């Protein structure tokens, strides 16, 4: 192939005799060149119904898979139309590759991968929903049994795992929990300062910030951080362990993955959340104090007296109870999304995403339920 | 030597949804056998092994150990039974958060009442057996794939199982290390009278180790040959088995 320079690919269709179709190819038939589409020939075959298709490639300067793919498509459609194909005119290499293409047995797909009809899709969706509900119920059951075993001291897991998880879900989260809750306290203080200024009641900034942070927002903001940090980590870790068969290895030893892997993680996050929540409330109050003392010039002593006066123990315990619940929900969602993940990298990514989404949704729903319950109880 | 049936697979069928992976699979593995599950890619070898160890539930049929049904056993009985076998997974499946010594020690910690010191000694012994005595404090991601496999074997042997399952033991190993693993398999069978079930398509290893086996046919989705692989090579029941065991290309005929 001593092509001078790259000449554009060309295709001419001629009918040298009735019932015969000759494809004259020329130029550079390479990927990336504007090669004529095979559909052109297919249209001609459909219209003209030739009995015989022949190639002439003497004018072809250079070729690669583009020509092979073109010839393969033309051959297939010619044969389907009932015409014979003479490949004698194709370059030697192309002929040999086409023999390989034909020899590859059509791999029958394991499952029918054609998209289902709309009705079938609705049905499949509904069945998938039912499966999800089943999985959730099974997960709740398994976790309850495991927690029960923990209480009677018969759960099998490494005690070291628990402290390790408490460290990574609790201590290591302090930085981001401080940042977010400090800023939230600051923002609330600013908003309330602007509103309360019109009544000349800026002292009550302390009340608003204190109650909001300790009772509600400390727990919710921390839960959202933990869902993104720890929930995703749980899902990714357990999902990867499924891919590498580490979970299978546990199962075949007769060890329960729920006891051994889920329990220490869920317990760790459930124990750490109330602590983080109390800390978050404190940082939030400090953030509010920056505005209260620094911007609206409340004397520091007065600001803190006012806060301590406003925030009751009930508020604090309310926050702690909520945070414990959120921790349980986020941890369980993360672990079970990981355990149910598929066996591929994409599936692990999906599990981590679902863990965060499910964690946050559960936290917000629980927050709403608590609001109603606390209101009813008059707390 | 007592050659009673140790594992019986009876009329097993496995399905994923509507897709039949295999059907009518029946065979027995005698005590002390090195039994190989052969077959081409996609013939369901690994699925069969996973069904035998309880990771996949069969659609019909059952697996029995010592004539006691494993498939129909209650969960706690099943856990009890599964402690009698060890599994070496295809890629080792070591617990990545634990050192090699901790990996081998974990089954002992969780399932026996041995003391700390004894567990430590046993774990080191098992790692010595597979030639990893110097690597007890290494994490799985710090050692090579072949070493991970040997460590996986040490862990599979932790509880002195009666049956060892190997999923493609020589895949990913160089020929020398693959042969070492074969020698180790034979050594285990001879010294501990362990029953060994191997999933393999490595001919050298099959002929070197196995004294019985089945061939799973990917097209017919069932067992098409059962016997000593060397015997099957001499008298193949059909051309697919012959092609597999003599490494000739299996010409596809319509």
Q: Report, as an integer, the average pLDDT of A346-350.
A: 94
Q: Report, as an integer, the average pLDDT of B173-194.
A: 84
Q: Last residue of a domain, which of A57, A85, A103?
A: A103
Confidence of residue B145 (pLDDT cuts 50, 70, 90): confident
**Count of CB atoms situated within 10 Å of the CB of A144:** 10
Average pLDDT value over all residues in chain A: 89
Query: Are β-strands A20-29 and A10-14 bridged in parallel, bridged antiparallel, or unpaired?
Result: antiparallel
Which residue in A111, A158, A252 is closest to B87 by CB distance?
A: A252
pLDDT at A99 over 50: yes
Query: Are β-strands B19-30 and B5-16 bridged in parallel, bridged antiparallel, or unpaired?
Result: antiparallel
Q: Can you give the pLDDT at residue A224?
A: 96
Walk across the sheet containing B68-69 and list its strands.
B19-30, B5-16, B60-65, B68-69
Average pLDDT value over all residues in chain B: 88
pLDDT digits (tens, 9 = 90+) for B74-85: 988 888 888 888
pLDDT at A313 over 90: yes
Q: What residues have CB less than 8 Å from A229, skipping those under 6 apart? A: A169, A173, A176
Please tell me the total count of domains within chain A.
2
State whether A75 and A201 are in the same domain: no
State whether A157 and A279 are in the same domain: yes
Confidence of residue A14 (pLDDT cuts 50, 70, 90): confident
**Count of CB atoms situated within 10 Å of the CB of B171:** 15
State whether A173 and A80 are in the same domain: no
Confidence of residue B179 (pLDDT cuts 50, 70, 90): confident
Q: Is A109's Cβ below 8 Å from some Cβ in B?
A: no
Q: Can you give the pLDDT at residue B76?
A: 85
Q: Report, as an integer, the average pLDDT of A138-142.
A: 91
Q: Quick one: which of A183, A182, A205, A180 has its CA closest to A295?
A: A205
Query: Are β-strands B222-226 and B212-217 bridged in parallel, bridged antiparallel, or unpaired?
Result: antiparallel
State whether A24 and A90 are in the same domain: yes
pLDDT digits (tens, 9 = 90+) for A167-213: 999 999 999 999 999 999 999 999 999 999 998 888 999 999 999 99
Task: Give the residue with greater pLDDT, A153 vs A326.
Answer: A326
The CATH number for A65's domain is 3.30.750.24
Instruction: Measure A244 CA to nearest chain B CA, in Å.
Output: 6
pLDDT at B123 over 70: yes
Chains A & B: contacts with CB separation below 8 Å? 58
Look at chain A and count its residues.
379
Instruction: Measure B78 CA to nearest chain A CA, in Å.
Output: 8
State whether A95 and A213 are in the same domain: no
Question: What percentage of chain B exceeds 90 in pLDDT?
Answer: 44
State whether A179 and A50 are in the same domain: no
Q: Can you give the pLDDT at residue A43?
A: 86
Q: Cβ–Cβ of B87/A158 closer than 8 Å?
A: no
- Provide the terminal-to-terminal Cα distance of chain A, rounded to the nearest Å: 89
Mutate to test the interface with B, among A155, A252, A256, A263 (most CBs of B within 10 A): A252
**CA–CA separation, A288 vs A290, rounded Å?**
5
Residue numbers of the domain that contains A58: 10-103
Q: Cβ–Cβ of A246/B53 closer than 8 Å?
A: no
Is residue A140 included in any domain, yes or no?
A: yes
Token look-up 């727990």 returns A219
Top mean pLDDT of A69-78, A97-106, B59-68 is at B59-68
Q: Can you give the pLDDT at residue A112?
A: 54
Least confident of A36-45, A242-251, B55-64: A36-45
Is residue A3 included in any domain, yes or no?
A: no
Q: Can you give the pLDDT at residue A105?
A: 56
pLDDT at B129 over 50: yes
Q: Report, as an integer, the average pLDDT of B167-176.
A: 83
Is residue A373 included in any domain, yes or no?
A: yes
Which residue in B17, B82, B109 is closest to A254 by CB distance?
A: B82
Q: Report, as an integer, the average pLDDT of B5-30.
A: 91
pLDDT digits (tens, 9 = 90+) for B36-66: 999 888 888 989 999 999 999 999 999 999 9
Which B positions 102-131 lie with beta carbon below 8 A of chain A? Answer: 106-107, 109-111
- Provide the terminal-to-terminal Cα distance of chain B, rounded to the nearest Å: 47
State whether A154 and A257 are in the same domain: yes
Contacts of A244 in chain B (CB under 8 A): 91, 93, 96
Q: Can you give the pLDDT at residue B174?
A: 83
Which chain B residue has its CA at the smallest distance from A249's CA? B93
State whether A17 and A162 are in the same domain: no
Q: Cβ–Cβ of B155/A103 closer than 8 Å?
A: no
State whether A14 and A82 are in the same domain: yes
Is residue A4 included in any domain, yes or no?
A: no
CB burial readout B44-72, b (16+ within 10 A) else e: bbbbbbbbbbbbbebeebbbbbeeeebbe
pLDDT at A300 over 50: yes
Q: Quick one: which of B184, B188, B220, B189 has its CA closest to B39?
A: B220
* φ, ψ of residue A64 in degrees (nearest 5): -150, -150
Instruction: Dig out the tokens for B85 from the structure.
Output: 């076998």
Which residue in B91, B107, B110 is closest to A245 by CB distance?
A: B91
Q: Is A160's Cβ below 8 Å from some Cβ in B?
A: no
Q: What residues have CB less than 8 Å from B32, skipping those under 6 apart? A: B1, B2, B3, B6, B189, B193, B194, B195
Is residue A113 included in any domain, yes or no?
A: no
State whether A143 and A210 are in the same domain: yes
Question: What percentage of chain A exceeds 90 in pLDDT?
Answer: 55
Q: What is the DSSP letter of B237?
A: S
Is residue A299 included in any domain, yes or no?
A: yes
Contacts of B252 in chain A (CB under 8 A): 103, 105
Instruction: Measure B16 CA to nearest chain A CA, in Å.
Output: 9
Is residue A96 included in any domain, yes or no?
A: yes
Q: Report, as an integer, the average pLDDT of A155-160.
A: 83
Q: Report, as an integer, the average pLDDT of A124-136.
A: 88
Contacts of A253 in chain B (CB under 8 A): 82-83, 107, 110-111, 159
Is residue A233 included in any domain, yes or no?
A: yes
Q: Is A167's Cβ below 8 Å from some Cβ in B?
A: no
pLDDT at A325 over 60: yes
pLDDT at A4 over 60: no
State whether A95 and A238 are in the same domain: no
State whether A96 and A144 are in the same domain: no
Walk across the sheet containing B34-39 and list its strands.
B85-88, B163-167, B195-199, B34-39, B212-217, B222-226
Question: What percentage of chain A exceeds 70 in pLDDT?
Answer: 96
């Amino acid at each position: 192939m001593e092509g001078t320079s790259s000449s554009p690919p060309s295709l001419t269709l001629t009918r040298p005799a009735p019932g015969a179709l000759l494809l004259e190819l020329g130029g550079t038939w390479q990927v990336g060149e504007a090669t004529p589409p095979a559909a052109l020939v297919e249209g001609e075959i459909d219209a003209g119904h030739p009995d015989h298709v022949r190639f002439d490639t003497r004018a072809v300067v250079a070729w690669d898979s583009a020509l092979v793919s073109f010839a393969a498509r033309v051959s297939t459609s010619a044969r389907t139309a009932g015409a014979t194909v003479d490949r004698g005119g194709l370059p030697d290499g192309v002929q040999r590759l086409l023999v390989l293409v034909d020899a590859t047995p059509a791999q029958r797909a394991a499952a029918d991968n054609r998209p289902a009809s709309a009705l079938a899709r609705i049905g499949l969706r509904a069945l998938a929903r039912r499966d999800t509900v089943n999985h959730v119920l099974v997960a709740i059951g398994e976790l309850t049994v495991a927690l029960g075993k923990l209480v009677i001291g018969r759960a099998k897991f490494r005690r070291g795992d628990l402290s390790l998880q408490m460290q990574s879900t609790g201590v290591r989260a302090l930085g981001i929990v401080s940042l977010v809750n400090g800023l939230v306290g600051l923002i609330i203080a600013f908003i309330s300062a602007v509103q309360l200024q019109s009544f000349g009641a800026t002292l009550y900034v302390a009340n608003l910030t204190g109650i909001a942070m300790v009772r509600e927002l400390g727990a919710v903001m921390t839960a959202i951080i933990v869902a993104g940090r720890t929930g995703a980590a749980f899902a990714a870790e357990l999902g990867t362990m499924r891919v590498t068969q580490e979970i299978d290895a546990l199962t075949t030893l007769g060890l329960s993955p729920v006891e051994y892997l889920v329990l220490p993680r869920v317990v760790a996050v459930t124990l750490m959340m109330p602590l983080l929540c109390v800390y978050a409330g404190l940082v939030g109050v400090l953030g509010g104090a920056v505005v209260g003392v620094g911007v609206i010039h409340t004397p520091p002593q007065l600001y803190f007296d006012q806060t301590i006066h406003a925030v009751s123990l009930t508020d604090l315990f309310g926050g702690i109870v909520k945070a414990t619940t959120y921790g349980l929900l986020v941890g369980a969602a993360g672990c079970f999304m990981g355990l149910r993940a598929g066996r591929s990298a994409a599936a692990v990514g999906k599990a981590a995403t679902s863990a965060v989404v499910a964690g946050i949704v559960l936290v917000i729903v629980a927050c709403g339920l608590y609001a109603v319950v606390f209101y009813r109880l008059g707390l | 030597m007592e050659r009673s049936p140790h594992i019986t697979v009876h009329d097993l069928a496995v399905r994923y949804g509507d897709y039949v992976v295999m059907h009518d699979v029946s065979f027995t593995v005698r005590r002390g056998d090195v039994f190989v599950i052969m077959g081409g890619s996609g013939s369901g070898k690994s699925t069969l092994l996973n069904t035998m160890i309880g990771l996949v539930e069969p659609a019909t049929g059952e697996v029995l150990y010592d004539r006691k049904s494993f498939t129909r056993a209650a969960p706690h009985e099943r856990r009890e039974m599964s402690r009698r076998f060890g599994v070496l997974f295809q890629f080792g499946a070591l617990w990545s958060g634990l050192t090699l010594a901790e990996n081998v020690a974990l089954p002992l910690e969780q399932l026996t009442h041995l003391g700390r010191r004894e567990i430590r000694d046993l774990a080191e012994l098992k790692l010595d057996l597979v030639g990893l005595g110097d690597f007890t404090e290494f994490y799985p991601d710090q050692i090579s794939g072949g070493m991970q496999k040997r460590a996986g074997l040490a862990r599979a042997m932790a509880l002195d199982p009666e049956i060892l399952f190997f999923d493609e033991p020589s895949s990913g190993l160089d020929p020398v290390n693959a042969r070492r693993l074969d020698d180790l398999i034979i050594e285990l069978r001879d010294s501990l009278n362990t029953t060994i079930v191997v999933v393999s398509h490595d001919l050298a290893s099959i002929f070197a180790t196995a004294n019985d086996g089945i061939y799973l046919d990917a097209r017919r989705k069932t067992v098409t040959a059962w016997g000593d692989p060397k015997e099957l090579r001499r008298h193949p029941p059909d051309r697919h088995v012959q092609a597999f065991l003599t490494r000739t290309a299996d010409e596809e005929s319509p």
